[in-house]
Amino acid sequence: MSRPAQTGLRLMLARGLMRACLALMPKTQAPWAQAMAAELEEISAAGSACSFALGCLGLALKLRLGST
């Protein structure tokens, strides 16, 4: 697989992780989740985007599990 294709797949993965974050984030934190999604779109490096999105997803899971 070529490097541009790998980069494209990583960016798709990052966006998928962010969609999961948005779905899991407690509704009271919706503005924060939207800000994180906007920040993701500003990250140009695919690896950094994946790391950021994974961290956001981890936070969303922590908040969701802590709010039940």
50-64 per-position pLDDT tens digit: 999 999 999 999 999
Map tokens 């541009």 to a residue.
Answer: 4
CA-CA distances (angstroms) from residue 56 to 25, 41, 50?
9, 13, 10
Confidence of residue 68 (pLDDT cuts 50, 70, 90): low
Tell me, what's the pLDDT at 67? 61
- Are the C-beta atoms of residues 53 and 65 closer than 8 Å to each other? no
Q: 3 CB contacts (<8 Å, ≥6 apart)?
A: none
12-42 per-position pLDDT tens digit: 999 999 999 999 999 999 999 999 999 999 9
Provide the token pair at 29.
Answer: 């934190």
